[in-house]
Chains A and B, each alone.
Chain A
Amino acid sequence: MISIKSAKNLFSISALGPILLVKIEETIDDEGIKNLTETLSESIVKYKSKAVIIDLANVDILDSYLASHLESLAYTTKLLQAEVIISGLKGPTIITLLEFDIKIEGVNFALDVNHALDQLS
Chain B
Amino acid sequence: MSDLKDLDRVDPFLDQVINAVPSGIFVIDKDHNILMLNRAAAKMVGKSPGECFDRKCWEIFNTPMCKTPDCTCHRAIKEDSTIRGLSVMHHNDREVPIEYAARPLKNVDGKIIGCVEHFIDITDRLEKERIIVKQQEGLLKQREEDIRHLQEEILELSTPVIEIWDGILALPLVGTLDSHRAKLATERLLEAIEKTRSAFVIIDITGVPAVDEEVANHILQTVDAAKLMGSKAVLTGISPHIAKTMAQLGVDMSTITVHGRMSDALHMAITESTNRALEYTNVQTWITDNKKS
Contact = CB atoms under 8 A, between A and B. Distances in A.
Contact of B190 (A95, A110, A116, A118): A95
Interface stretch (B12-20, B22-30, B67-75, B223-231): B223-231
B16 to A, nearest CB: 81
Given A95-B225, A109-B230, A118 B286 contact: no
Interface residues of A, number: 24
B135 interface: no
B191 to A, nearest CB: 6
- Label chain B's interface by main secondary structure: helix
A91 B230 contact: no
B177 interface: no
Nearest to A103: B224
Given A111-B193, A111-B229, A112-B197, A95 B286 contact: no
Contacts of A17: 286-287, 290
Contacts, number: 66
A109 B287 contact: no
A23 B234 CA distance: 29
A120 B282 CA distance: 11
B230 A87 contact: yes
A94 B287 contact: no
A98 B220 CA distance: 11
Interface of B: 183, 186-187, 190-191, 193-194, 197-199, 221, 224-225, 227-231, 276, 279-280, 282-283, 286-287, 290
